[in-house]
Amino acid sequence: MITTSGLTKRYGRILALDAVDLQVRDGDRYGLLGPNGSGKTTLLRLVLGLLYATAGQIELMGRPVPRHLAQVLSDVGALVEGPSAYGHLPGRANLRLLDAAGPNGARRTRRDRIEEALERVGLAGVDSRPVKAYSLGMRQRLGLAAALLRQPRLLVLDEPTNGLDPQGIREIRELLHDLNQGGTTVFLCSHLLGEVEQLCTRVGVLDQGRLVLQESVDTLRAATGRVLLRTPDADRAAVLLDGRIDARTGDLLVVRHPDPAQLNASLVRAGLRINEIGPERRSLESAVLEVIGAGSDRIERTAPA
Ligand code: ATP
């Protein structure tokens, strides 16, 4: 869907991107992570043909861009660098202008397309006040509605939940998930690890312009070989599992064991009550922080609600 090879961008003496080989596959929900200034926005803008590369190649849906950008752009929806809109016009009027300028044509069905897009982003009931009176979250939703009007095969989003409250973040996450189930590949950048962990199937990590990690979230969140066990009979469990317990906090035990199901069966046979049991997984946070080292304190770690 998106392939870059040796993609490099310089702004004068600043090397914003350094020989990036990125691969976003058909059907991915791909999250590009990185500290401030690591090159995320630059990469998104290059992919969309909004900037010229200093060196390297980009292919969008198999076509080299920017050379063949016109052939693929109608299949791409984008929300990059904040939603742009005519501030003095209401949201619907903005979408009408956009739709008229786009490739979808059919005036007859324009109203339905616009209402559907507004509904999908939670703006169905929006009144006729001008966009300049919208909150940042409402503008962000309007920008997404604009991106959706094209029913894109690929959706490119720069920090899509910027300015949204926790409820809004959840709604946008569900929307992107649904769109992806319907066949849209999602490529977004974010500095919110928790957001990417909850939404994305694959991640790329940029650090000072270099792509230092590209992997599926499942692989990164591999099991550690330990089991997390919550039991009201923690004292008895601690005796039974003597020598295998790495940590204990109240009724929660961390047990060195490769197979939670087997451990569960043996504890139940011994008459213990189990509240929760499952494999301990490496967090995306630890996988990411391992590769970005010094810049790590600039990635937001808290998970959105
Ligand atoms: P953030 O998370 O803060 O948005 P980012 O990861 O999106 O950051 P970029 O905005 O792509 O990073 O910037 C990468 C580097 O390129 C930074 O050092 C930035 O200062 C520099 N840069 C970006 N745009 C320009 C420009 N137009 N002129 C000069 N330098 C620029």
Asked whether residue 184 falls in the same domain as residue 69, the answer is yes
Asked whether residue 94 falls in the same domain as residue 18, the answer is yes
- How many helices and strands (H and E) does the chain possess? 11, 14
Average pLDDT over residues 72-93: 74
Q: Which residue has the higher pLDDT, 250 or 191?
A: 250
Q: Mutation test of ligand 1: which of 38, 50, 292 has the most ligand atoms closer than 8 Å to its C-beta?
A: 38
pLDDT tops 90 at residue 179: no
Exposed, middle or buried by CB within 10 Å (0-12, 13-18, 19+), for 141? buried
State the DSSP H helix or E strand holding residue 178, giving kind and residue range, or none if neither.
Answer: helix 166-181
Asked whether residue 9 falls in the same domain as residue 42, the answer is yes
Tell me the residue range of the domain where 122 lies. 2-220
Q: How many domains does the chain have?
A: 2
- Is residue 91 within 8 A of residue 139, CB to CB? The reply is no
Asked whether residue 247 falls in the same domain as residue 182, the answer is no
Residue closest by Cα to atom 31 of ligand 1: 11
Asked whether residue 91 falls in the same domain as residue 176, the answer is yes
- Is residue 299 within 8 A of residue 33, CB to CB? The reply is yes
pLDDT tops 80 at residue 8: yes
The domain spanning residue 39 has which CATH number?
Answer: 3.40.50.300
Task: Quote the pLDDT of residue 14.
Answer: 93
Task: Quote the pLDDT of residue 104.
Answer: 58
Q: Mutation test of ligand 1: which of 11, 81, 206, 300 has the most ligand atoms closer than 8 Å to its C-beta?
A: 11
Asked whether residue 171 falls in the same domain as residue 257, the answer is no
Give residue-wise pLDDT tens across range 19-69.
999 999 999 999 999 988 999 999 999 998 889 999 999 999 999 998 988
Residue closest by Cα to atom 14 of ligand 1: 39
Give residue-wise pLDDT tens across range 100-150.
766 656 777 788 888 888 888 888 888 788 888 887 778 888 888 887 887
CA 208 to centroid of ligand 1, rounded, Å: 10
Lining ligand 1 with CB less than 6 A are: 11, 14, 16, 34, 36-42, 191
Asked whether residue 215 falls in the same domain as residue 261, the answer is no
Q: Which residue has the higher pLDDT, 164 or 14?
A: 14
One-letter identity of residue 189? C
Asked whether residue 122 falls in the same domain as residue 205, the answer is yes
Asked whether residue 183 falls in the same domain as residue 240, the answer is no
